[in-house]
Every structure is written in structure tokens, then in C-alpha cells.
Amino acid sequence: MTTLLTVEGLFLAALSIALVLFVIPGISTRTAWWLIVALATLVTVAAIGAGVAWGEQFLGAWPGSLVKDIPVVCIVFGIVFQPVVAIIVSVVTRPKQVKVS
């Protein structure tokens, strides 16, 4: 699970770098957007793997003591947060469709 969370974080960092491509002259916004979509997909896939690993590790003893459950809940929020942000970024940055008359 730790490896999957690290990979998920690295993909989100790469997504941040792809966002910078929007302001670099000479790079089309459509190309930058497709890179963002690809990276958002990778973040989501890594999050699914991390979520499955989280469930395997923690749901067998659920619910436990409050002291042990708080970090478990915080970890799942971390797993879910990154793909949600990635998907929102890919939707918000989508280039407008060019209408052909």
C-alpha cells in the first residue's frame, strides 16, 4: 500500500507539471489537456490499487479502537483525495470545442 500511495503522489506531481504546459508558448492546449487526462487516469488507477490494499489491510479488524481508526480513516481520505483532484483538474482545463460552420 505504501508503494501505491507513493506512486499515486508521484502521478499527481506529474499532473501538476502538465498543468504548467498550458502557459508555455508553442505547446497546444489540446496536447497539454490529453497529457492531464492520461495522468489523471494513472492517478485513479493507482488510487484503486491503494484502496484495495487499504481494504485488505484494515477492514478485517474494523471497527477497532478509536485511536487506531482515526489514522485508518485519514489514510483512506488521502487515497480518495488525489484522484478526485486529478479528475476535477482534467474537467476544468478541458479546451473548448471548436465549432465548424
> For each of the chain's 101 residues, which pLDDT tens digit applies?
677 778 778 888 888 887 787 777 777 888 888 888 888 888 888 888 888 888 888 887 666 677 777 887 888 888 888 888 888 888 888 877 645 44
Domain borders along the chain are: 2-92
Q: Is residue 63 reached through a cis peptide bond, with omega within 30 degrees of 0 on the bond before it?
A: yes
Predicted confidence at residue 98, as pLDDT, reads 44
pTM for this prediction: 0.71
- Count of CB atoms situated within 10 Å of the CB of 53: 16
